[in-house]
Structure 1
Amino acid sequence: MLKKLLITGAAGGLGRAMRSRLGEVAETLRLADIVPVADPGSNEEAVTCDLADAAAVRAMVAGCDGIVHFGGKSVEGDFATILNANILGLYNLYEAARAEGVGRVLFASSNHTIGFYRQDEWLKTTDPMRPDGLYGVSKCFGEALASMYHDKFGIETAIVRIGSCFEEPMNHRMLATWMSFDDCAALIGCIFRAPRLGCPVIWGVSDNDQKWWDTASAAAIGWRPKDNSERFRAALDAKMERPAKDHPNAVYQGGMFTQEPIHGA
């Protein structure tokens, strides 16, 4: 068990969902976000931090022995916002981890690093990146940064390309990309219990009947997701029509992100 685990982006949906599920991973959770984190529990510390502020990030990381990095801009946006939150912010985080001696990180990457692959293509983690927007590009940068800090400084990182981590899939595309909250928490536990981690790329997806990604790399750290999105298919069919065959949500793995305009274009 870790002494103190830092969770960035702790005020967001995924951060809130993980707080109650990680009691067996760390004695204390340090919850950080750019906005105040509400109602910290007896085993939680709340920190407000702008990732673009290097000094504040150093203070946020101090005293922690593991980091779950959910923080930053989580959807497409203008370049200035993504630059500060996802590029400069991640550099500040790794520099703080190096300076404070934090040896293991979970970096929340994204399926949007490969969003322009078609849904009829089967991907391994070694396939070339094909980002579908500036957000995806920032995650490509993050994966490269994590690799460099591992090779140069020995900081181990699990690069988790999260598909769609919600309580349930919200559309038909997510039947292939969905990762349940319980499977996500189990993955975090495996990452911080593994005797050796290195810097693997892992597809963050549950054991869905429909999927596009080779998840073999997850087995190396003992993670075997248990949930399956198939149980939501009938409800989705009743709730909404399936996308047309030429709709981005039916063509591209990144779905509508492939159609988001570049800010100013």
Structure 2
Amino acid sequence: MTRLSALIVARNEEARLPDCLASVAFADEVVVVLDRSIDDSAAIAAVARAKVVEGAWELEGERRNAGLDACTGDWIIEVDADERVNEPLARAIRQTIATSPHAWHQVPVDNYVGDRLIRHGWAGSFGTTSVPRLSRKGAKRWRPQRVHPGLDWTGREGPKITEGALIHLVDRDISDMLRRLDKYSSAKAADLLATGEIGTLRANVRRFFSRGFKSYVSRKGYREGGWGVLLALCTGAFPLLSYLKAALEPERHR
């Protein structure tokens, strides 16, 4: 029988971890990677009979790769602590890994801000409606970056899963969304400084408008009313704010 590992990477997520663990109970193995956690996350994972890997990683890519290495299943589904695998997606994952000749598959995502499902407007690094989270063991490696690390693949991509969704509790409210923008742009500024190529003001101003347009028009954010405007602003602001932090305050982000 094809074995499935569920991988959860978290830091001080004792409040959200129980529901996340319950949603991946269909997997044959659950691995929880805890990065510098000082709350009760390890005890909660142990009660759920998960394999716990504890450590300290500066880069998100390295942390996620440690989790991939700890998994022993033939396939791996990666889930963050603020995400839940709903039952239709769980069934679709099982059906896919039983017959797929491919190396990896995109998984659909339903994004929530508070109790509101926002279907349109997600774009760029601020949010997405599908993620490449289901992969064969050894097919996927994350690159050494702090925020939204890139991916290197071995093997071919298969068809996107279309049943069910990964429920993503993105933000609690608008203030939480803006705090996330601040956090992500600081991490991205550190990545830019590490490469030595932060870009230019002109290029990032252009990206502000092009990414905002993509979110609001191409990704149909206008269908979400004011939420679509907010998403477009955050999507466009992310690269510009990251650049400005790297250019104007490099000492704070190295």
TM-score by length of 1: 0.35
| Structure ranking higher in strand proportion | 2
| Structure ranking higher in helix proportion | 2
TM-score by length of 2: 0.36
